[in-house]
């Protein structure tokens, strides 16, 4: 039965709350996937400790030990392949992957971003949304291509932006949904239900939502 689980490798740099959500969903049997290795570019990442706590191999790969990004990513790719990783999930991994790595694992890398892409890519997506003055924001899980925060979108969640929000308040409202949509995207991948057609990801056997969200409301 265990052999039916999709083998996931998670790349991290910091806190690891999305990693935690994925591990928890896996342990609860909500996703047909297991995290087999966590790789960090930062030795002191809390995410590494979270992995160890669950008996998951936690690997610190120091970028300074390699002559360039591609050499680093070649080593990382080898470590992932050695463990039979079938899907790579970026979860707060704060480095831009090289075209080399993206091609090597083409269609098998996902990322989560704390904004409704293509709005507010890059760093501090939540603060960018606040500063711009949008009324809704959210989060996005997408396949990774050679451009930053750009590949085909798998799932998005929308949350309201409130008048007295600061970066922390909006970030935590968004984070709650990051923790729901990332495991969901992994499960859909594990089930083989994600069909990429150019930029559009169709999901087999699913009826899309029919609602629209309006903020502020149309009536008092």
Residues numbered 87-106 forming contacts with ligand GAR, rule: CB under 6 A: 91-92
Q: Which of 113, 124, 142, 150 is catalytic?
A: 113
Using CB under 6 A, which of 41, 73, 145, 178 touches ligand GAR?
178
Q: How far is the CB of 219 from ligand GAR (least distance, A)?
A: 33
151 scored as a contact of ligand GAR (CB under 6 A): no
Q: How far is the CB of 205 from ligand GAR (least distance, A)?
A: 27
26 scored as a contact of ligand GAR (CB under 6 A): no
Residues numbered 158-177 forming contacts with ligand GAR, rule: CB under 6 A: 175
SS3 sequence of the chain:
CHHHCEEEEEEECCCCHHHHHHHHHHHCCCCCEEEEEEEECCCCCHHHHHHHHCCCEEEECCHHHCCCHHHHHHHHHHHHHHCCCCEEEECCCCCCCCHHHHHHCCCCEEEEECCCCCCCCCCCHHHHHHHHCCCEEEEEEEECCCCCCCCCEEEEEEEECCCCCCHHHHHHHHHHHHHHHHHHHHHHHHCCCEEEECCEEEECCCCCCCCCCCCCCCCC
Instruction: Give catalytic status of residue 113 as yes or no.
Output: yes
**Where does this chain bind ligand GAR (CB under 6 A)?**
14-18, 91-92, 112-114, 125, 149, 175, 178
């Amino acid at each position: 039965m265990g052999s039916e689980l999709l083998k996931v490798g998670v790349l991290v740099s910091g806190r690891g709350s999305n990693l935690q959500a994925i591990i928890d969903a896996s342990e609860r049997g909500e996703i047909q996937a297991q995290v087999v290795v966590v790789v960090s570019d930062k030795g002191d990442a809390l995410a590494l400790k979270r992995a160890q706590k669950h008996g998951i191999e936690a690997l610190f790969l120091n970028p300074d030990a390699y002559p360039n990004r591609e050499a680093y990513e070649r080593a990382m790719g080898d470590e992932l392949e050695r463990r039979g990783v079938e899907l790579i999930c970026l979860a707060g991994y704060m480095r831009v992957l090289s075209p080399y790595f993206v091609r090597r694992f083409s269609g098998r890398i996902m990322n989560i971003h704390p904004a409704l892409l293509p709005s507010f890519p890059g760093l501090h997506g939540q603060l960018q949304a606040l500063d711009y003055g949008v009324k809704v924001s959210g989060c996005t899980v997408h396949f990774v291509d050679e451009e930053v925060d750009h590949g085909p979108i798998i799932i998005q969640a929308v949350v309201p932006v409130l008048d007295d929000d600061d970066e922390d308040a909006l970030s935590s409202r968004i984070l709650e949904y990051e923790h729901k949509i990332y495991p969901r995207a992994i499960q859909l991948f594990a089930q083989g239900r994600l069909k990429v057609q150019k930029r559009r990801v169709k999901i087999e056997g699913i009826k899309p939502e029919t609602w629209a969200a309006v903020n502020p409301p149309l009536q008092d």
